[in-house]
């Protein structure tokens, strides 16, 4: 049976860390799974044990799909495999015991991290809602799930220093797959900070700014400026005499409207009043 052979090959490639090979083997396996009606867990009451075992195997195959596409930086595939895996995790017949620090929670938390690093906060919360309300997971004690949840909480509070610490001590990470998100997360973190900074300060010495954004102090000012301009959307930052000045764009526009252009300001009033009179006329 080719399915068996293929999956053995897949396991082998995955154990050896040959993720590109995994990606090559996976599509034919999926076709085989569809042929055997195993890609989607449709269970009724009289499903026998063999079928459940088969489904467990296809779940494992998909899990390898998730991990190998993550490790080979193929994020579209990562999303695809994860959404195929979801029905497995939600199926009560396959999952009736507690999941604590297992591959399941690891993969779920990887997905949470992925959503965070993409800035998809509302999707993150939708996933979280499912996790919190399922009694399969013990969130407080699960080292995998705790990580993204803490991260999001600190991000929302603006407690960036904690995140920086979390991200920088690779020894703290519960598993090595997380390292893949560190770079994107740090970038997201700096972006958040830069947005806060430009609203908060009128000006800031470049050195302090480096500190706040966690850039190394040794980095030359011009290089720092270049990197900032490339990475973040900071058109209103001016670099002058060792300081950065933040121009408040929106407020300036508001002032313009309020002061000079009287006719613009009066138009809505006229429009409104005409509208009211029209309505009142129709009533009378």
Partner 1 sequence: MVDTTSIKKEEKIEEQSDSTESVVSEIEQSFSLISKTASSFDNRYISKAFRDLGPLRRKLTKSILITIINKLYPSKINTNKSYLFGVLDVVQDDNAMVIDHQEEDNEDTQPSSILIPEVELYVHLLIQVFLLDQNQLESLNILNSNIIQLMKLYNKRSLDFIQAKIWFYIARTNELLEDLYSIRPELLASLRTATLRHDTETTSSIITLLLRNYLLTHDINQASNLVEKTVFPANASNALAARYYYYLARISAIQLDYSTAHEYVIAAIRKAPQTHLANGFIQSATKLSIIIELLTGDIPELKTFKRNQIGGNFEPYFYVTRAVKLGDLNLFSKVLNEYEALFKKDDNFTLVSRLRQNVIKTGIRIISLSYSKISLKDICIKLHLDSEESTEYIVSKAIRDGVIEATINHQKGFMQSKELLDIYSTKLPQTEFDQRINFCLSLRNDSVKSMRYPSDNDNKADLNGKSLDKDEEFDILKALEDGDLDDFMD
Q: Pick the binder of partner 1 from 31, 34, 121, 249 (CB under 8 A).
A: 121
Q: State which of residues 4, 20, 172, 196 lies at the interface with partner 1 (CB under 8 A).
A: 196
Helices 179-200 and 160-168, interaxial angle, to 10°?
160
Among 161, 229, 264, 274, binds partner 1 (CB under 8 A): 161
Strands 237-240 and 203-205 turn out to be: unpaired
Residue 195 has a CB neighbour count (10 Å cut-off) of 13
Q: How far apart are CA 38 and CA 59, in angstroms?
A: 9
Q: Which is nearer to partner 1, 11 or 239 (CB)?
A: 239
Task: Report d(CA 195, CA 191) in Å as an integer.
Answer: 6
Q: Which stretch binds partner 1 (CB under 8 A): 46-54, 94-102, 157-165, 215-223?
A: 157-165
**Interaction of residue 185 with partner 1, rule CB under 8 A:** no
C-alpha 212/C-alpha 161 separation (Å) is 9
Among 130, 229, 255, 264, binds partner 1 (CB under 8 A): 130
Q: Does 38 bind partner 1 (CB under 8 A)?
A: no
Instruction: Decide: helix, strand or coil at residue 239.
Output: strand
- For position 108 contacting partner 1 by CB under 8 A, the verdict is no
DSSP one-letter code for 246: E
Positions in 201-240 near partner 1 (CB under 8 A): 201-202, 204-205, 208, 212
Smallest separation, CB 39 to partner 1 (Å): 18
- Taking CB under 8 A as the criterion, the residue among 8, 157, 179, 256 binding partner 1 is 157
Q: How far apart are CA 207 and CA 221, in angstroms?
A: 8
Alpha helices in 91-133 (DSSP H): 103-117, 121-132
- Output the six-digit token pair for 273: 């009043």
Calculate helix-pair angle for 103-117, 49-71, nearest 10 degrees. 40
Angle between helix 249-259 and helix 262-283 axes, rounded to 10 deg: 70
Nearer to partner 1, 12 or 125 (CB): 125
d(CA 108, CA 5): 28
For residue 277, the minimal CB distance to partner 1 (Å) is: 11
31-39, 50-58, 59-67, 149-157 -> range binding partner 1 (CB under 8 A) = 149-157
Query: Does the protein bind partner 1 through residue 279 (CB under 8 A)?
Result: yes
Single residue of 5, 132, 187, 238 touching partner 1 by CB under 8 A: 132
199 binds partner 1 (CB under 8 A): yes
Q: Which residues in this chain contact partner 1 in the complex, by CB under 8 A?
A: 121-122, 125-126, 128-130, 132-134, 153, 156-162, 192-193, 195-197, 199-202, 204-205, 208, 212, 265, 268-269, 272, 276, 279, 283
């Amino acid at each position: 049976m080719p399915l068996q052979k293929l999956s053995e090959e897949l396991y082998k490639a995955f154990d050896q860390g040959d993720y590109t090979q995994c990606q090559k083997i996976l599509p034919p396996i999926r076709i085989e799974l569809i042929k055997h009606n195993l890609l989607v867990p449709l269970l009724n009451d009289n499903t026998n044990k063999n079928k459940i075992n088969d489904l467990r195997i296809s779940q494992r195959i998909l899990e390898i799909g998730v991990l190998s596409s993550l490790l080979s930086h193929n994020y579209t595939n990562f999303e695809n495999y994860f959404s195929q895996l979801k029905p497995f995790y939600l199926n009560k017949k396959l999952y009736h015991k507690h999941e604590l620090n297992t591959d399941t929670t690891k993969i779920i938390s990887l997905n949470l991290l992925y959503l965070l690093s993409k800035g998809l906060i509302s999707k993150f919360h939708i996933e979280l809602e499912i996790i919190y309300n399922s009694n399969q997971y013990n969130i407080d004690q699960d080292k995998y799930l705790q990580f993204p949840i803490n991260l999001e909480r600190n991000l929302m509070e603006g407690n960036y220093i904690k995140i920086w610490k979390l991200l920088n001590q690779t020894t703290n990470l519960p598993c090595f797959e997380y390292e893949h998100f560190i770079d994107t997360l740090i970038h997201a973190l700096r972006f958040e900070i830069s947005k806060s900074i430009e609203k908060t300060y009128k000006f800031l010495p470049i050195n302090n700014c480096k500190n706040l954004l966690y850039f190394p102090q040794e980095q030359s000012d011009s290089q720092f400026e270049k990197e900032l301009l490339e990475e973040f959307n900071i058109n209103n930052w001016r670099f002058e005499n060792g300081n950065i000045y933040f121009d408040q764009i929106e407020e300036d526009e508001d002032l313009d409207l309020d002061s000079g252009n009287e006719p613009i300001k009066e138009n809505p009033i006229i429009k409104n009043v005409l509208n009211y009179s029209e309505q009142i006329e129709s009533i009378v």
